Amino acid sequence: MPLPTQQAVLSPTGSMQAGKPPVVWVLLGETVGDNAQLLNLARALGWPTCFRRAADSRPGLAWNRLHAFWSSTIPPSRRLLLAPPWPDLVLTCGGRALADVRRLRRLLGNKVCIVNVGRPWGSFRLFDCIITTPQYALPPGLNVLENLFPLNTLPAAEQRHALAREWLAHWQHLPRPWITCVVGGPSSSYPWTTHDVDHLIARAQAMQRMYGGSWLVVTSPRTPADMARRLQQAAGDGFLPAYGQEASSSSIYQASLALSDRFIVTADSASMIAEACQTNRPVHLFQPTHSKRDGWLGCSWLPSALTSTLTSRGLWTPRRNLAAYHRRLLAMGLLTPWPDEPQGTVSAIRVDGVRYQQAFTQGRSIDLERSVTRIRLLMGLPPRPVAGGQLMPAARHEVTHFMDNNRFHEAQHVSSHPERQILPEVLR
């Protein structure tokens, strides 16, 4: 997905209430997945948005963070990036923007609402809302909103159909069904080995023998070149250009999501899992066998109350717990067990999985609806109804949660415009 330039403006997509809409800044991060979530959230909010990106070297990044700790002034190197007109809302992700978040909070105080997507790299007090997912294992808090999936969404139905028509001619010589392997790459949780790559190939070939058809491979920007070459040798014509490595690669990736009949997704990327699950087709999880585990440095031996306190104060960052996240998706029925694995029993949270699948069928994202509703409440705006004046179930649930925690009283200081005050009758 191409990202806007630093000064690009995203125009509102829907009608707002009377009065001036909030101004949004998006502080772009380093990774494609994080930036895609920020872009999707900005589009869903539908407010005027400026995208800003810091291009610090590693030494420059270290100096920038140290400067932000002891000084409330904006250094010359940031004055073009951080300049009025000031935003009402800031969307951020990753650690590179943390110094700028500190400066904006010191400069603007409670006049700005700051929302972090993913794992925060500083004190929770810096943020009005932290939109996270279960694998980060953040301690609960009034400003923590834990979604099931990242805020990655599939393109609109018209765009998906256009991509399918465009690329169908290139793949129609391959027998159906198409079993597509969506491959990530080494990470802190899954370093990958040669054995893991061979095991993935064997799994895909076994799936092909069981269901027939063809198996395809879509790689990612994190896939090492030697790993991609090994997959290409095994898949032959089913190997598709790496996502993010050429101009057409993003559309190839989206076309594979639109056209494939079954998926094998590697366990190292929550975003890729989310996008595959949104197709409502069978998604099998491939987990590399050599995953790193918490040891002495992981502080798994410390009391949970202490690690929660350290995390909320920005003094400790817990390791990702992707394995527990995968087990939850399996229990919800959103991931499909391998044919040689136990199918398991129907759990109580399977109902939640059905809700997600129904929303995917309608082209909706429950987690995006919840996030937009939380931000609108923090900004002093009522939740956005759909056709007929009714709230979506996810939005209604978020309003109830917001009221139960009395957060709507604290949100009143965010906006100085009377038309942005939360309407009690909407919240009842």
pTM equals: 0.80
CATH class of this structure's domain 9-117? alpha beta
Classify burial at 241, counting beta carbons within 10 Å of its beta carbon; exposed 0-12, middle 13-18, buried 19 or more: middle
Closest CA to 123 of 109, 137, 143, 108: 143
Give the pLDDT of the chain (428 residues) as one tens digit per residue: 444 443 444 433 333 334 688 999 999 887 878 898 999 999 999 999 999 886 555 555 555 555 555 556 666 666 657 788 899 999 999 887 888 888 888 888 889 999 999 988 888 999 999 999 998 889 888 899 999 999 988 877 777 778 788 888 888 889 999 999 999 999 878 889 999 999 999 999 999 999 999 999 998 888 999 999 999 999 888 887 655 444 455 678 888 898 999 999 999 988 899 999 999 999 999 998 766 554 434 555 566 777 777 777 777 777 778 888 998 899 899 999 998 877 655 566 788 888 899 988 888 889 999 999 999 999 888 887 654 455 566 666 666 666 556 554 454 444 443 333 443 344 33
**CA torsion angle 324 326 329 330 (round to 10):** -100
Strand segments, DSSP code E, in 68-177 are 89-92, 113-117, 129-132, 144-146
Domain boundaries, the chain: 9-117, 157-286, 368-427
Instruction: State how far the alpha carbon of 1 is from the alpha carbons of 14, 287, 395, in Å.
Output: 22, 26, 27
Instruction: State how far the alpha carbon of 368 is from the alpha carbons of 112, 136, 392, 425, in Å.
Output: 21, 18, 12, 24
| HSE-CB of 203 using CA atoms within 13 angstroms | 24
Radius of gyration of the CA atoms of the chain, in A: 22
Q: What's at 310, amino acid-wise? A: L
Q: Right CATH number for 157-286 from 3.40.50.11350, 3.40.309.10, 1.10.150.80, 3.90.180.10?
A: 3.40.50.11350
Please, are residues 333 and 148 in contact by the beta-carbon 8 Å criterion?
no
Please, are residues 312 and 124 in contact by the beta-carbon 8 Å criterion?
yes
Do the domains spanning 9-117 and 157-286 agree at the CATH topology level?
yes
Please give the DSSP secondary-structure letter assigned to residue 27.
E
Classify burial at 406, counting beta carbons within 10 Å of its beta carbon; exposed 0-12, middle 13-18, buried 19 or more: exposed
Q: What's at 321, amino acid-wise? A: N
Residue 268: both structure tokens together: 């190292």
